[in-house]
């Protein structure tokens, strides 16, 4: 099929819904609870186990997860938090929801991740207490070295929220040679995940927070449901009946329904399978693009990479994007740097502030990578890209 159009359009990512997933959702519709039934807790437990954390809190989406984390860490107006410019805006927005100020450190162009040397320089250029937190992102599925982030954070009195939306099942290797799974809570206070359909695990919409901190865990449970508690141990007044509950602080309705958790739980059972297929496809892309003039692969061959995205860089990115579209291949750009968004420019950030992120953005393209992409479809994508690069080259 090398150059004829594929049987279906090929997006950069898509969900994989199996018959078992459908059956799990249908069964949940027949169960007693549509919203807060037993599947929520089961999904939380299984997910915590999957990433190696003590606690997990299911929430309505990844953005809500970030918002609750910022609230639980008590982000206040004027507090300054550092994140990467190459991420989805939500990583930064959670700080703004609480009135905090977002700052950025430029990326390491080899990995696309926040450059920890730049974070350190930024921290050292200001008095202690100037910044309050760090939000590193496991961009594309490549884990940030959180052991090193923790050292920086401890030296400057900062908390860490790991945005692990791209990296369930990913890991980095620590200084002892141990694999440290994304979201395992060993180094960051909190980690967050998204179950949007393009991510590894689909819930429709959905998100998860993981932590090893029992106090934060209990606080997140309360914030997730309006700031309300029924737990006798937490009540500040004497109950006057069986209905009694207290709204103790301003919370939200960020719950994830049973229905979505049933899908998530069923998907989670196949997470390792999907991850293995993502890694296999990435390896095949790496081999196909090795030594191809005019094209660079972002961070090939890294252990622990969870491959939410497979990113290539070319001189004429718009040309490649448009060309692939004519071939029914719908590549995508991840990301327009957050500081270049009109909203963040309105807060004072400018073009030229983070030149490596901007240079990366000018050339990056995420090409199709998802578990149901067949070898034939992948060969077609490779052939089309080679055709473009050889003409441009």
Tell me if residue 128 is catalytic: no
Contact assessment for residue 385 and residue 316, using Cβ atoms and an 8 Å cutoff: no
* Beta bridge mates, 162: 191
102 in Cβ contact with 131 (< 8 Å): no
Segment near ligand PLP (CB under 6 A); pick from 16-24, 158-166, 264-272, 360-368: 158-166
**Nearest distance from C-beta of residue 64 to ligand PLP, angstroms:** 7
Note whether 96 and 339 are within 8 A (CB): no
Of positions 96, 103, 156, 166, contacts ligand PLP by CB under 6 A = 166
Q: Tell me which residues in 308-337 interact with ligand PLP (CB under 6 A).
A: none
Closest to ligand PLP by CB, 62 or 85: 62
d(CA 187, CA 183): 9
Comparing every residue's Cβ against ligand PLP, the nearest one is 62
Interface with ligand PLP, residue 132, by CB under 6 A:
no
Considering the complex, what minimum distance in angstroms separates the CB of residue 87 from ligand PLP? 5
CB of 141 to ligand PLP, least distance (A): 10
Phi, psi of 27 (to 5 degrees): -60, -40
Q: Pairing mode, if any, of strands 133-135 and 159-163?
A: parallel
Q: How far apart are CA 122 and CA 117, in angstroms?
A: 9
Nearer to ligand PLP, 53 or 90 (CB): 90
Q: How many CB atoms lie within 10 A of CB 291?
A: 5
Between 204 and 243, how does the x/- string for binding to ligand PLP read (CB under 6 A)? ---x------------------------------------
**DSSP character at residue 139:** G
Supply 131's token pair.
């910044």
In the set 49, 118, 199, 327, the catalytic residue is 199
Which of 95-103, 147-155, 162-170, 365-373 is the region at the interface with ligand PLP (rule: CB under 6 A)?
162-170
Shortest Å distance, C-beta 288 to ligand PLP: 26
Report which of 104, 94, 99, 42 is spatially closest to residue 65, judged by C-alpha positions.
Answer: 94
- Assess 169 for contact with ligand PLP (CB under 6 A): no
Question: In the window 72-91, what residues touch ligand PLP (CB under 6 A)?
Answer: 87-88, 90-91
- Residues near ligand PLP (CB under 6 A), total: 14
Comparison of 207 and 251: residue with beta carbon closer to ligand PLP? 207
Residues numbered 12-71 forming contacts with ligand PLP, rule: CB under 6 A: 61-63
CA-CA distances (angstroms) from residue 191 to 56, 160, 273?
9, 8, 23
Member of 196, 200, 222, 339 binding ligand PLP (CB under 6 A): 196
By the rule CB under 6 A, 137 interacts with ligand PLP? yes
Using CB under 6 A, which of 132, 145, 148, 194 touches ligand PLP? 194
* E strand spans, the chain: 10-11, 55-59, 80-83, 101-104, 133-135, 159-163, 171-173, 179-181, 190-194, 207-211, 228-229, 246-247, 295-297, 310-314, 329-330, 364-367
Residues that bind ligand PLP (CB under 6 A): 61-63, 87-88, 90-91, 137, 163, 165-166, 194, 196, 207
The residues that are catalytic are 199
């Amino acid at each position: 099929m090398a150059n004829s159009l594929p049987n279906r359009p090929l997006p950069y990512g898509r969900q994989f819904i199996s018959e078992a997933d459908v059956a799990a959702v249908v069964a949940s519709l027949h169960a007693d609870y549509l919203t807060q039934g037993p599947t929520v807790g089961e999904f939380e437990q299984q997910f915590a186990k999957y990433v190696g954390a003590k606690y997990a809190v299911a929430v309505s989406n990844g953005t809500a997860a970030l918002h609750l984390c910022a609230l639980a860490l008590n982000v206040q107006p004027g507090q300054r938090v550092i994140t990467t410019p190459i991420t989805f805006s939500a990583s930064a927005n959670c700080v703004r929801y609480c009135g905090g100020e977002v700052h950025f450190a430029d990326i390491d162009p080899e990995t696309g991740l926040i450059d920890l040397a730049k974070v350190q320089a930024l921290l050292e250029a200001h008095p202690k207490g100037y910044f309050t937190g760090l939000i590193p992102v496991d961009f594309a599925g490549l884990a940030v070295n959180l052991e090193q982030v923790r050292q920086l954070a401890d030296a400057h009195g900062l908390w860490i929220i790991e945005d692990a939306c791209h990296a369930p099942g990913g890991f980095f290797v620590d200084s002892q040679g141990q694999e440290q799974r994304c979201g395992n809570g060993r180094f960051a206070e909190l980690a967050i995940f998204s179950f949007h359909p393009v991510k590894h695990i689909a819930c429709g919409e959905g998100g998860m927070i993981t932590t090893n901190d029992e106090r934060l865990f209990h606080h997140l449970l309360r914030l997730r449901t309006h700031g309300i508690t029924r737990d006798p141990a937490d009540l500040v007044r004497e109950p006057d009946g069986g209905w009694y509950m207290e709204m103790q602080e301003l919370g939200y309705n960020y719950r994830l329904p049973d229905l979505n958790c049933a899908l998530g739980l069923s998907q989670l059972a196949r997470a390792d399978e999907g991850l293995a297929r993502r890694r296999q496809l990435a390896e095949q892309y790496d081999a196909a693009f090795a030594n191809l003039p005019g094209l660079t692969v972002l961070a090939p061959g890294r252990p622990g990479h969870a491959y939410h995205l497979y990113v290539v860089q070319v001189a004429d990115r718009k040309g490649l994007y448009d060309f692939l579209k004519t071939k029914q291949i719908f590549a995508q750009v991840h990301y327009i740097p957050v500081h270049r968004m009109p909203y963040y420019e309105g807060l004072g950030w400018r073009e030229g502030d983070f030149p490596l992120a901007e240079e990366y953005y000018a050339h990056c393209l995420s090409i199709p990578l998802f578990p149901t992409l067949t070898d034939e479809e992948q060969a077609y994508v490779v052939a089309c890209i080679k055709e473009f690069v050889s003409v441009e080259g």
